[in-house]
Structure 1
Amino acid sequence: MGDTTSKPLPEEGSSGKTCDKSKWKITETPQDSGIFPTIGVTLWLGWNGFILWMILYAIFLAGKWQRMVIVGLMTLSLVLPVNFPGTLGYRMGDWLMIQAEKYFGLKTVIEDEDDLIRHSEQNKALIFAFNPHDMLPYSIFAFSPSLRRLPGKIGEEGTALMTSAIFSIPFLRHVYSWVKGLSVDKRTFLSRLHSGKSFAFSPGGVQEVLRLDPAKPNELVLYIKERKGFIKLALTTGSPVVPVFAFNLDGSYGYWLPRGQFVEKISRAVGFAPLVFWGRWGIPFGIPHPRKSHVVIGRAIDMPKEGDNVTQELVDKWHGVFLEELELLFERHKHDAGYGARQLKFI
C-alpha cells in the first residue's frame, strides 16, 4: 500500500462503502489573486517573513529607540492574551479567511455530506486527517468556521489544530487565534473529542517536511506509517476518522532544506523545520504562489468505542483501514486535479 503502481484501485475500501459520485458536494470559489486577496493572505501567512526581517533589522540596522520599539512590541504580543483584541480580532480573522478563499480559488469536494451530518447529530467529533503536510499545510483553512464549507455543527464549530510552537511566537499567536486555530497538543485533542467538536489536523507534521524531495516530482511522500496516535484516541472515544487530501500544495514554495539527523532533532524539538523557502515574487519567507487549492474530503470511517481496552493490534488494524481509504480517496480524485501521473508513497 502506498508504493508506486500503475494499476487502478477499486472504489471500495476496507470500510465496505462504495463511492456514489452523485452524493459529492462540490463548492468552488473563482480565483482572484488581486490586491485585496493578496493583502489578506499576506496578513495571514506573511508573518514568518515579517518577524524574521524585524529581528534582522533590530540586530543589524536599527538605532537604539527603533530596537526598543521592536523588542517592546514583540514582548507585548507575548504578554497579551492569545485572542487579543477579542471580537475585533475574530472579525479580522473572518476577513483573512474570505480573502484566502479567493486567492487560492478554493475548491472543496465532500464525498458524503449526509454521512458527516449523521455523525454530527450523534454529537460525535469527527477527526479530519489532512494530507499532505508539505511545506506549509495552508489548505487546511478549508475547515475554518469562517467559511462554513462543512455542514451544520461541523462547519460552525470546526477548526484546525496546528503545532503548539505557533502560539509561542509573537504576532503569529494572535493571527492564528483570530482564524480560530488551536494547538495540536493531546489535551486539546481529547477535549475536542469529548465535547463533540470536530477538527482537522495534519498527521505528517514537520517530519514530512524533512522528506520532501524535488528530485522525485511524481512521488508524493506522506510520513504517516508510524503516525498512529490519532487512531488510538479515535478508538478510545469512538470518534470517526475522515481522510482528507489537498491537491496543489506542492509547488507553492521553492525551498532549501538542510538534511541530517541533527536537523531532524531540532525540528522535533521546536515544532518546525529549519529551512529557507520563498514564494510569490521570490520573496524569502513570503506568501505562497496563488495555486488553486483543491481539497477532497472522504467518507467517515466509523471507529468502535473501545475506551481503555485499546490494543496495539486494534490500532494497527484501523490505521491500515485509514491508509487504504486515504489512498482510494487520492486515486478517485487525482485525474480531476491534474495529478494523473502522481503516486502516493507512505513512509
Structure 2
Amino acid sequence: MKIEFAPLNIPLKRRQGTAAVLLWLLLAVLLPMVCIAIFAILIIHNYWFLYIPYLVWVYFDWQTPEKGGRSCHWIRSWMVWRYFNNYFPIRLIKTWDLDPKRNYIFGFHPHGAMTIGAFGNFGTNHSDFKKLFPGFTPYLHITTLLFLCPFFRDILMTTGLVSVSKRSISSVMSREGGGNISIIVIGGAKELFYAYPGNSTLFIRQRRGFAKLALIHGTHLVPIYSFGENDLFQQVGTSEDSWIFTCQKKLHKFFGFILPLFYGRGVFQYSIGFMPYRKPINTVVGRPIPVQQTLHPTPEQVEELYQTYLEELSKLFEEHKGKYGIPEHQRLVFK
C-alpha cells in the first residue's frame, strides 16, 4: 500500500480539527481503561482515604445518570468541541418547528462507528442546536454500561450524556413545562455491523420500546437521519457470509458486545489509521409524529406507532438523500 502523507502547509484550522478529533478518540477509547486502572491502584495500595469517599459519593449519586444527569455548560462549551465539529464538518438541519412547551423523543439513525454526529450535535454547545431549537435542552442517551466505570461516569455526565434505560428516558419525558428532548440511537450496538460507507441498513426491527415509551408519556416522536455517519470509517468483514462477520455475531450473542474491525486515516497521512475520514456529517431532523398519551398501550397501538415511525423515517431519507450524495436507487433497509 502506498502511503499518502499530509502536506506540511496544511492550514492551522485543519490541524486544530485533527488534534481535537484525536483527543476525543483517546478520551473515548482509552480514558475508561485509565479510570479503571486508577481505581484498581487505589484499592490495591489501600488508599482508602481516596476510594472510600468516592464509593460513598457514587452510592448517593448512583441514580443521577437516570435522572437527567449533571451537564456542565463550561465543559460543553470548550473550544476543542468547535474544532471537533469543524473537522468533518458536522451540520444540524431542521425541517420542522417544534413546540418548546412539549417534550420530544428524537430517534437518531444510523449508529455509525462511534455516533460522532450525535455527540457533535447534542453533546456540545458548538452545533446549531440552540439556534435551531431555542428553549430546548438535549439529553443524549448512551449505553448504561459506561456509567458503571468509576470516574469515567462523572466525566460523561458533564457533556450532557445520560443512561438509555427506560427509567432515564421516562425521567426526561416526565419533566413538566416541556422543552426537553431525549436523543436515542435506536439501532444500538448491533447496528455497528452495518456501519461502513455506502450502507443504509438500520437495525430496528426488534426495537419497539421507544414507541411504547412515547405512547405512555404522550411524547411526539421525531426521526433523524445523519447522512455521512457511515462514511467515516471502513470496516473489515462486512459481508454476512464472511467468517469475521460470523465471529462478531457469535461474540455479541455470548458476551453482549461487538468488536468491529474499523479503520480510517492516520494523523499525519491519509492512507490508513484509526482517525475518521474528513467526511461531512449532515444530521437532518424530520417532522414530529403526533402521539396521544396512552398510559397502558396495547401491542396493536405500539405496532401502529412503530410502523408510522418507519414510514416517516423512510420519507425523510428519500426527501434528502439526493442532497448528500446518496444514489437515487438506494433505499433504507430495516433489519
TM-score range, shorter chain: 0.7 to 0.9
Indicate conservation of the 8 Å contact 1:254/1:277, yes or no.
yes
CA contact (8 A) 1:32 1:105 kept: no
Task: Tell me which residue corresponds to 1:180.
Answer: 160
Change in 2 beyond 3 A, CA 1:287/1:181:
farther
Please report how far the alpha carbon of residue 132 of structure 1 lies from its aligned counterpart in structure 2 after TM superposition.
0.5
What TM-score do you get using the length of structure 2 for normalisation? 0.74
Q: Which residue of 2 aligns with 1:252?
A: 232
Q: Which amino acid aligns with 1:279?
A: G
**Residue 122 of structure 2 is aligned to residue 143 of structure 1:** yes
Amino acid at match of 1:229: G
Q: Deviations over 1:165-198 (max 9, x none)?
A: 2223356434422221111111111000101421
Match of 1:275 in 2: 260
Task: Pick from 299, 312, 328 the counterpart of residue 325 of structure 1.
Answer: 312
Paired residues for 1:134-213 under 5 Å: 134-141=112-119, 142-144=121-123, 146-147=125-126, 148-149=128-129, 150-154=132-136, 157-169=137-149, 172-195=152-175, 196=178, 197-212=180-195
**What do residues 102-139 of structure 1 show as CA deviations (whole Å, max 9, x unaligned)?**
122122211012xx1x2x22xx2100000001222110
After superposition, where does 1:325-344 map in structure 2 within 5 Å? Answer: 325-341=312-328, 342-344=330-332
Does residue 111 in structure 1 map to residue 95 in structure 2?
yes
* 1:32–1:104 CA contact under 8 A, matched in 2: no
- Separation in structure 2 between the aligned mates of residue 110 and residue 332 of structure 1, nearest angstrom: 13
Change (3 A) 1:302 1:53: closer
TM-score, scaled relative to structure 1: 0.72
CA RMSD of aligned residues (A): 3.6
Q: Is the 8 A contact 1:245 1:296 kept in 2?
A: yes
- Counterparts in 2 of 1:311 and 1:54: CA distance versus 1, 3 Å: closer
Structure 2 gap ranges (5+): 1-10, 238-243
Count of matched residue pairs: 290
- 2:75 equivalent in structure 1: 92
Asked whether the equivalents of residues 32 and 102 of structure 1 are also in contact (C-alpha less than 8 Å), the reply is: no
Distance (Å, rounded) in 1 between the aligned partners of 2:314 and 2:153:
34
Q: Which amino acid aligns with 1:325?
A: E
CA–CA separation in structure 1 for the residues paired with 2:134 and 2:169: 21
In structure 1, stretches of 5+ residues that fail to align are: 1-30, 59-66
Identical aligned residues as a percent: 25
Which residue identity lines up with residue 137 of structure 1 in the other structure?
T
Cα deviations by residue, 1:137-170 (Å, 9 ceiling, x for unpaired): 110121236235141222xx11211111222335
Contact 1:219–1:343 (Cα < 8 Å) also in 2: no
Q: For 2:25, which of 21, 29, 45 is the aligned residue?
A: 45
* Residue correspondence of structure 1 range 203-242 to structure 2 within 5 A: 203-212=186-195, 218-242=198-222
Distance 2:205 2:12 in 1: 37
